Amino acid sequence: MKISTIVWAAIAALTLSSCAQEAANKTGELNRSAFEAWVSLNKESSWTETELGSWIISLTPGDIKNKPLASVEDNPYLRLEYTVTSLDGTVEETTSEVVSKRIGKYDKRNYYGPMFSYRAYNNTYAGIEEFFAQMGVGGKCRAVVPGWLLTTSRYDTKQKYIDAMSTSTAAKIYDFTVVESVKSTEDWEMDLLKKTMGKEWDKADSLTTGVYYVRDKASDKPDTTFSASAEVYINYICRRIDGTGIDTNIADSAKVFGCSATGKPVLINWGEKATDLTMTSKKNSVIAGFAYGIYHMKPHEKGRVYMTSSAGYGSKGSGSAIPAYCPIYFEIELVDKE
């Protein structure tokens, strides 16, 4: 009696599924065995194990009474200072200027300080969330987080995390401080912008949402109108909101900032509207806040254009110099061609 093709296919599918599950379970168990071996050799009597399998080296809860972090809804964004190291002590990530200097990776244009961590929709690792549940603002934690908890998936038990591993992930040592809880990044950025601009906030022109312009030198040709195909030239300096210079075309300033510059004015290709502006002969796109600032200016005018991240580099930031949700500003002057 012959077994139908459909039945054979079903048997094959079940077999493959079973093998895949077995391989995944084996990966998790091997990962656990390796981690437990490391712990047995390195842990100290003061360490405590969490329900999901991390080991807390030290933990200062912070203001858990008045500013608890357990609710993601009430604390969707946290600003953290942290250092992440591998089990052999190699620093893999850090927000610390001191640590960066110690390991020879310091760059004066880089941002050092609290970074945003977005918690909603399981954006943070399960192992880190487990610590937040028992901390408040100002809390500090140093802990060893196993590979099975370095995932944004969520399960009920330690064993389920282990069983879900399909690839081996090395454990990490996390050392972090919760500096601040932020409900709205937009409100947080606006407060920072107003504080930085001070008295100039009241005289700034609002160009579009999140973009504000302060004129430092009036144009000597205020009635000039640029055609949509016009080419204009600028000198500029880009600064993080803390005043750190991070980019410029001006040679002397570039030496101070630690970046490169041609020393020549930069070509800006005009357009029908601000968002049409492009930069250089390659017509590279520019961020919205920068474009609105230039579009607002006339020949030989000097000014500063401040912007929230919504008109800048948003929730991702730009490289190591501009972190997520960071307001920035440009000092701009419209100049004659070279």
Token pair listed for 250: 């001006």
Tell me the two tokens of residue 210: 């999140």
Q: Which helix (H) or strand (E) holds 297?
A: none
pLDDT at 17: 47
Q: What is the rounded distance in angstroms from the CA atom of residue 119 to the CA atom of residue 78? A: 8
CA-based R_g, the chain, Å: 27
Give the pLDDT band (50/70/90) at residue 22.
low
Span 29-47, mean pLDDT?
97
What is the arithmetic mean of pLDDT over 282-291? 97
Distances 65 to 68, 129, 137, 176, 259 between C-alpha atoms, Å: 6, 18, 10, 20, 46
Q: What are phi and psi of 202, to 5 degrees?
A: -70, -25
H helix intervals, 200-243 = none
pLDDT, position 337: 83
Report which of residues 51 and 120 the model is more confident about. 51
Contact 322, 312 (CB under 8 A): yes
Do 138 and 62 meet the contact criterion of CB atoms below 8 Å apart? yes
Q: DSSP string covering 141-184, please?
A: EEEEE-GGGSSS---SSHHHHHHT-SS----EEEEEEEEEEES-
Strands 205-208 and 284-285, bridge-based pairing: unpaired
Q: Report the SS3 class of residue 107.
A: coil
pLDDT digit string, tens, across residues 99-151: 999 999 999 999 999 999 999 889 999 999 999 999 999 999 999 999 999 99
The string of pLDDT tens digits covering residues 233-255 is 999 999 999 999 999 999 999 99
**Distance between CA atoms of 325 and 310, rounded to whole angstroms?**
8
What is this structure's pTM? 0.88
321's CB contacts (< 8 A; 6+ apart) are 109, 110, 111, 240, 244, 246, 247
What's the mean pLDDT when you consider all of the chain? 93
pLDDT digits (tens, 9 = 90+) for 55-88: 999 999 999 999 999 999 999 999 999 999 999 9
